[in-house]
Amino acid sequence: PQPAPVFDAVKASSTRGYDTDSTNGEIVYYYPRYAVDGDMRTAWTPDRDVDSYEPSITITANDEQYVTGIRMTNGYCKSEKTYTKNRRITKVRISYDGGEKIASFSKDNYQNMIEVEFDEPVYTDYITITVLESVDGGWHDIAISEIEAY
């Protein structure tokens, strides 16, 4: 068996600055690294103007990793209210060395990691997830709480 892939850096096409949580007045940030921190209560969120571009987030590694797919959330899983009020991703393009995969999924996957298995295992030092479609929940923020490669 191959060792689990390790992607140790992350960057995004854009990142929303911050918000103030209306329930407790706490400042909430949306850094790209929050999509790989193992905490469903944090998330990466791109700029709100998502209708003018396709936001993306890329995880990278120093060396090529053996990858058979990814798992990801399609929203901000801090709470059920936060999840349903924010936009939820329903279609992505996943790009990596040697290929890409288009994946569509249900908007209702609160705190579930959605698996997208590649057509065949690959060796890659990056994986980019580009948001192609999302469903509005009332607030205009797209979010990904977690991404992991396997």
Cα-Cα-Cα-Cα torsion 15, 13, 83, 145, nearest 10 degrees, comes to -90
* pLDDT digits 0-9 by tens, 33-55: 999 999 999 999 998 776 678 99
Residue 78: per-residue pLDDT: 92
Question: pTM to 2 decimals?
Answer: 0.93
Say which residue the tokens 């801090």 belong to: 78
Q: Are 9 and 60 in contact (CB under 8 A)?
A: yes
In whole angstroms, what is the distance from residue 121 CA to residue 111 CA?
Answer: 26
10-28 exposure pattern, b = at least 16 Cβ within 10 A, e = fewer: bebbbbbeeeeeeeeeeeb
* pLDDT digits 0-9 by tens, 69-108: 999 999 999 999 999 999 999 999 999 998 999 999 988 9
124 Cβ contact list (under 8 Å, min separation 6): 64, 65, 67, 96, 97, 98
In whole angstroms, what is the distance from residue 100 CA to residue 20 CA?
Answer: 37
Residue 51: per-residue pLDDT: 65
133-149 average pLDDT score: 92
Residue 123: per-residue pLDDT: 97
* pLDDT digits 0-9 by tens, 103-136: 999 889 999 999 999 999 999 999 999 999 999 8
